[in-house]
Structure 1
Amino acid sequence: MKLPFVKYHGAGNDFILVDNRGDDRRIWDALEPGTIRALCARHHGIGADGIILAVKSDRAEVPYSMGYFNADGSPAEMCGNGLRCLVRFLDDLGEPVRGMEEVRILTGAGEIAARFTPEDTIQIAMPIPSFDPRDAKIALDQPAVSHPIQVPGLADPLPGTAVGVGNPHFVLYSSEMWEGDEVHEIGHRIALHRDLFPEGVNVGFARKEAPDTVALVVYERGVGPTLACGSGAIAAVGAGIAEGRFEFEQRVHVRMPGGMLHVIIGKEWRYAVLEGDAVKVFEGEVDLATLSSG
């Protein structure tokens, strides 16, 4: 099967976008975990942090849905940077998303609204940060805010905040920026700490750089360290507010290795907005049979 695709990135977080507006079952069936891993492989495939399927629905109020898979082939609830890329992809396909006051997209985390700004960036109304252990998917009875956890293989407990933003995150703030080896080793250990995070977790390594700026690197479950993570940006600012580092209604700049994202969280957790760009990189067609056997 030959599969047309377009590659996009949002602040360096890159995705393979597939047009499945007709909800073709053959495309869903073809994208089994091994094929997804091969497509996302950096040296032998297209290379990406994940794959997104654009699907058109019959519901006028929620006209599109998002199928999302991590680079390891596992499905995930949603992805903030991926959503921005999906909106840009739909616009490039000729869908009337730019003319809408907001476009609603169905994800594994529920319905999410997006819109183009006058500056041609894309704003996403993200899931509101929740510290309820059921939403953060942490095996505790109480919210974990600045809560020390014991990580297998590490001598000292690590204090962090567990937050759900449609997918689970554990955010670690430090006065020093984390080194690359630390991000990989600690992130890997926490992401696979299934006694505490039964479904795995995305791990954010954060440092407040200025009153309105946080530097952030995210180790994504099923992917590893990425250049950017939209839901991770929301989680880091949400955790920062819960820990007293930022304020409600403050526009916080989130500096990630791949670029800058912007987050505003409304008073009393009423809303959460993520803003950033989404850029088309290239398009092509891949023979899945050849790729899978290579």
Structure 2
Amino acid sequence: MLTTNLLKVHGSENQFFILDQTALATPLSAAELTKLAQTICKPTSLLGGADGVLVVDESDHEDALGRMEVVNADGSRASMCGNGLRCVSRYLSDKFHQDSFRVETPAADLMVNRELDLAPNVVAFAVEISPVRYEKQDFPFDNLGMDKIINQPLPELNDHLKFTTIAVPNPHLISFVKTDADLNDTLGTLGKQLNAKNPYFPDGVNVNFAKIIGKNRLFVRTYERGVGFTNACGTGMSATSLAFALNYPEMVDIEKPIEVTNPGGMVKTIVHPNNTKQWIQLIGNATFTAKVELPEEMLHQGSITPDEATITDTGEESAYQAFVNSLPQN
């Protein structure tokens, strides 16, 4: 019986399985990947499920060590995932013994670098988040009366908040809020509305609400397209950091990192908002929590039997939790 390995990983507790297609006897088809993600990401599945599957393939692009495809828990594809890219970057770095390289994604080849560990046994990577786009066709959005949305009221969506739309290239709707009611109830209601059939964002949209904690400090919570509420969204925190610099320049020193806390921990971002090519650097953990050995046939069938899987805990999650508990409380 052919066996293969999955890795259970997370960036800021945004949970994934890494599947290296190059290690399989027969790579999974697109339909098989969809079914696998829909099965293995369920909370009742292996290791409590996940937010998605990170699929690693070979790349024929110059300087790219590999290609990343993101399959969400519902089987849909994301054009990018910042937290996932950090984890795939670590996987490729360990595999090929390189610390600085590019990873091919559907939208762009992105530069990644190994960083100093955030804490003992908490590995960190910095990844490029780009390209940055604002035009409505990049989301798309419609019936909102404008081609770009930068710190604008949108009465069609809410009666008291202002919104910014930035695609990186995942589409993000961003609002800076002051109350816990908005951060929880309003975010949940709006996120669910805009990711069901609606006249404003027909393909759905990631919705990010942020609280300004202080200069260069944010708290961000995300309702993620294809997932729902998530512990963290790397592209969401990156897009929100850029919106922070654009909308509240007096609160951002772009020469210094922005500290972004989230329900799953903390990352740092460095925004480049004024160049002809806008981009964001996202710096955070790439934690491997478990190695899973299982029959390859299970992956093709999209039917996972936990009893037939051999799970090895890495011990990294306890180190990550110690790091999170050491962070100052807001």
**Pair 104,190 (structure 1): closer, same or farther in 2 beyond 3 Å:** same
Which residue matches 2:75? 73
Aligned partners of 1:69 and 1:76 also within 8 Å: yes
Corresponding letter in the other structure for 1:238:
L
Q: Give the CA deviation at 1:273.
A: 0.6
Aligned partners of 1:201 and 1:221 also within 8 Å: yes
Give the Cα separation in 1 of the matches to 2:70 and 2:218: 27
Q: Give the CA deviation at 1:66.
A: 0.5
Give the Cα separation in 2 of the matches to 1:267 and 1:50: 30
- SS in structure 1 of the partner of residue 169 of structure 2: coil
Q: Give the CA deviation at 1:239.
A: 1.2
CA RMSD of aligned residues (A): 2.5
Aligned partners of 1:237 and 1:246 also within 8 Å: no
Corresponding letter in the other structure for 1:122:
F
1:114 pairs with one of 112, 131, 141: 112
TM-superposition CA deviations, 1:6-44 (whole Å, max 9, x none):
110011001100111368763234634333111100123
Corresponding letter in the other structure for 2:103:
I
Q: Are residue 275 (structure 1) and residue 283 (structure 2) matched? A: yes
For structure 1, which runs of at least 5 residues remain unmatched after alignment?
Answer: none
- SS in structure 1 of the partner of residue 96 of structure 2: coil
Q: Give the CA deviation at 1:137.
A: 2.7
Aligned partners of 2:59 and 2:104 also within 8 Å: no
**Pair 2,28 (structure 1): closer, same or farther in 2 beyond 3 Å:** farther
Q: How does 1:129-208 map to 2 (within 5 A)?
A: 129-139=132-142, 141-151=146-156, 156=159, 158-177=161-180, 178-192=182-196, 194-208=198-212
Give the Cα separation in 2 of the matches to 1:23 and 1:199: 33
Give the Cα separation in 2 of the matches to 1:171 and 1:118: 30
Give the Cα separation in 1 of the matches to 2:196 and 2:247: 25
For structure 2, which runs of at least 5 residues remain unmatched after alignment?
Answer: 118-122, 307-330
What TM-score do you get using the length of structure 1 for normalisation?
0.88
Corresponding letter in the other structure for 1:253:
E
- SS in structure 2 of the partner of residue 41 of structure 1: coil
What TM-score do you get using the length of structure 2 for normalisation?
0.79
1:62 pairs with one of 56, 61, 64: 64
Which residue matches 1:104? 102
TM-superposition CA deviations, 1:244-279 (whole Å, max 9, x none):
253433411111000101011125044311100110
Q: How many residues align?
A: 288
**Pair 192,159 (structure 1): closer, same or farther in 2 beyond 3 Å:** farther
Give the Cα separation in 2 of the matches to 1:28 and 1:67: 13
Give the Cα separation in 2 of the matches to 1:31 and 1:132: 34
Aligned partners of 2:245 and 2:273 also within 8 Å: no
Which residue matches 1:284? 292
Which residue matches 1:216? 220
**Which 10-residue stretch deviates more, 181-190 or 229-238?**
181-190
Which residue matches 1:126? 129
Give the Cα separation in 2 of the matches to 1:239 and 1:191: 22
Which residue matches 2:311? none
The structure 1 segments of at least 4 consecutive aligned residues displaced by more than 6 Å after TM superposition are none
Task: Return the structure number with greater helix share.
Answer: 2
Corresponding letter in the other structure for 1:185:
T
